[in-house]
Amino acid sequence: MKQKRFILPESEIPTQWYNVVADMTNKPMPMINPATKEPITAEDLYPLFAEECSRQEVNRTDAWIDIPEEVREKYAYYRCTPLVRAYSLEEALGTPAHIYFKNESVNPLGSHKLNSAIPQAYYCKQQGVTNVTTETGAGQWGAALAYSAKLFGLDCAIYQVKISYEQKPYRRIIMQVFDAQVTPSPSMSTRAGKDLLTADPNHQGSLGTAISEAVELAMMTPNCKYLLGSVLNHVCLHQTVIGLEAEKQMAMAGEYPDIVIGCFGGGSNFSGISMPFMRHNLKDGKHTRFIAAEPASCPKLTKGEFRYDFGDETGYTPLIPMFTLGHEFRPANIHAGGLRYHGAGAIVSQLVKDGLVEAVDIRQLDSFAAGQLFAKAEGIIPAPESCHAIAAAINEANKCKETGEEKVILFNLSGHGLVDMTAYDQYISGTLANTGD
Ligand SMILES: *Cc1c(COP(=O)(O)O)cnc(C)c1O
């Protein structure tokens, strides 16, 4: 029998995260304080984020950062996750490529977001914080954080992008099961929200508006920290458990990836699967290609501009050096809510600028066609976000079919789509469009 799943025991949960910045020749430019125009220090971030996360955010020297034992214990609820060889998908495509995926959908919350929610909640608890707040789009990050906050006994308030709050009630309910307080953004509960609604009473919300509101709440509430689910360096750092496990599992399969693919919202799952392999490109002369798959309707990497921009709509965050569509960009209402973000994290932006990471954009209908093909072959219904990675993987596998090359393709399955069935319903019934492409 051919081995399909490569499984590591709990004892193989990584003991350290990998900080690629330490190994990059061209480091990302620093975040800038918009008021003083000075580079941001860890101390500047303390009012907003947990102190340890703030230090990780600006760490440019340590390639390896210890994972606290309590975080590893919580990771053991669902890690190590399986690496799977997608034999049926290969067969369905008739490709000579070997396709593997890392299955980050197998935790109770259904996406990779838990990998960073757990340590961020842990570091807050450790320094005596009592309340946490955040934004969420489709709700995966909110669900992961609501649960992580519960694990560490923190109160949790979440601003959810209004369009998702209305279109995707199930994840709101999941957050509420974990006692989180969920508010649709823009809302009247913050200055930022009030201003946005005064200017446009029908504002549908975006990750940018929800971030503004959560940041404002954190700044106004004593003992409250803001936690972010993507984009920032420390979030990408936490996600490297994905690639570090995958590296060992690829070795179990006796292969090494020629191509690594992740879907791209702000960069966390893409960084998680990619950076441990990128390390070998930077240090050991490997030539793996890295492909970030973004939606055609929110194409910051393929069509955006590299410059300093705010991470949120109102301009509360530091200025981040990023590929951006502009912080006031309003993404179309595609189902891949987690990819509706105007910018890309500083690390991946720098790597794209230096030609070390490639980007492709995928249209909504092509993403669902790929997702359905994958579901029929492998029995897993992927998250609409993950469908973008699958589409990019299929495109590469189809190229191998033309050239006859037996390339090894690894992609990250960032989440399952079982709470996104209205999206599949629309796709199957033919009412879904290439919105905003
Ligand atoms: C949030 C999310 C994404 C996009 O965020 P990144 O930080 O770019 O990874 C992708 N897939 C799923 C399932 C998500 O929940």
CB 306 within 8 A of CB 295: no
CA distance 310 to 268: 18
Per cent of the chain over pLDDT 70 is 100
In the predicted model, what is the mean pLDDT of the chain? 96
What's the 321 CA to ligand 1 centre distance in angstroms? Answer: 20
What's the 166 CA to ligand 1 centre distance in angstroms? Answer: 20
Atom of ligand 1 nearest to the CA of 416: 13
Residues with CB under 6 A from ligand 1: 111, 113, 140-141, 230, 263-270, 338-339, 383, 385-386, 414-415
Helices (H) and strands (E) in the chain, counts: 18, 15
CB 409 within 8 A of CB 101: no
Q: Return the pLDDT at 295.
A: 97
- Tell me whether strands 131-136 and 98-103 are parallel, antiparallel or unpaired: unpaired
The DSSP letter of residue 415 is B
Of 92-101, 166-175, 381-390, the poorest mean pLDDT is in 166-175
Structure tokens at 22: 């330490």
Atom of ligand 1 nearest to the CA of 104: 13
What's the 264 CA to ligand 1 centre distance in angstroms? Answer: 7
Q: Is residue 223 predicted with pLDDT exceeding 80?
A: yes
Q: Return the pLDDT at 395.
A: 98
Which residue's CA lies nearest to atom 13 of ligand 1?
415
Order of all β-strands in the sheet with 408-413? 5-6, 83-85, 98-103, 408-413, 259-263, 289-295, 358-362
Which residue among 81, 101, 106, 113 is best mutated to probe the pocket of ligand 1, counting the most ligand atoms within 8 A of its Cβ? 113
Structure tokens at 82: 């399986």
What's the 200 CA to ligand 1 centre distance in angstroms? Answer: 28
Q: Is residue 331 predicted with pLDDT exceeding 90?
A: no
Which residue's CA lies nearest to atom 4 of ligand 1?
265
Helix (H, G, I), strand (E, B) or coil at 416: strand
Q: Is residue 422 predicted with pLDDT exceeding 70?
A: yes
pLDDT tens-digit series, residues 110-162: 999 999 999 999 999 999 999 999 999 889 999 999 999 999 999 999 999 99
Using pLDDT thresholds of 50, 70 and 90, give the confidence band for residue 43. very high
Which residue among 107, 109, 111 is best mutated to probe the pocket of ligand 1, counting the most ligand atoms within 8 A of its Cβ? 111
SS3 letters across 31-43: CECCCCCCECCHH
What's the 151 CA to ligand 1 centre distance in angstroms? Answer: 22
What's the 265 CA to ligand 1 centre distance in angstroms? Answer: 6
What's the 291 CA to ligand 1 centre distance in angstroms? Answer: 15
Q: Is residue 62 predicted with pLDDT exceeding 90?
A: yes
Give the residues across from 113 on adjacent strands: none
Atom of ligand 1 nearest to the CA of 236: 7
pLDDT tens-digit series, residues 150-194: 999 999 999 999 988 998 899 999 999 999 999 999 999 999 999
CB 24 within 8 A of CB 350: yes
Using pLDDT thresholds of 50, 70 and 90, give the confidence band for residue 93. very high
- How large is the average pLDDT for residues 8-13? 98
CA distance 2 to 167: 42
Atom of ligand 1 nearest to the CA of 239: 9
Q: Is residue 330 predicted with pLDDT exceeding 90?
A: no
Structure tokens at 132: 């946490």
Q: Return the pLDDT at 207.
A: 83
What's the 141 CA to ligand 1 centre distance in angstroms? Answer: 8
- How large is the average pLDDT for residues 218-240? 96
- Tell me whether strands 98-103 and 408-413 are parallel, antiparallel or unpaired: parallel
Which residue's CA lies nearest to atom 8 of ligand 1?
265
Q: Is residue 314 predicted with pLDDT exceeding 80?
A: yes
What's the 36 CA to ligand 1 centre distance in angstroms? Answer: 32
- How large is the average pLDDT for residues 356-362? 98
Q: Return the pLDDT at 437.
A: 67
- How large is the average pLDDT for residues 17-45? 97
Q: State residue 94 phi and psi, 5-degree precision.
A: 65, 40
Which residue's CA lies nearest to atom 10 of ligand 1?
385
What's the 116 CA to ligand 1 centre distance in angstroms? Answer: 12
CA distance 378 to 374: 6
Which residue's CA lies nearest to atom 7 of ligand 1?
268
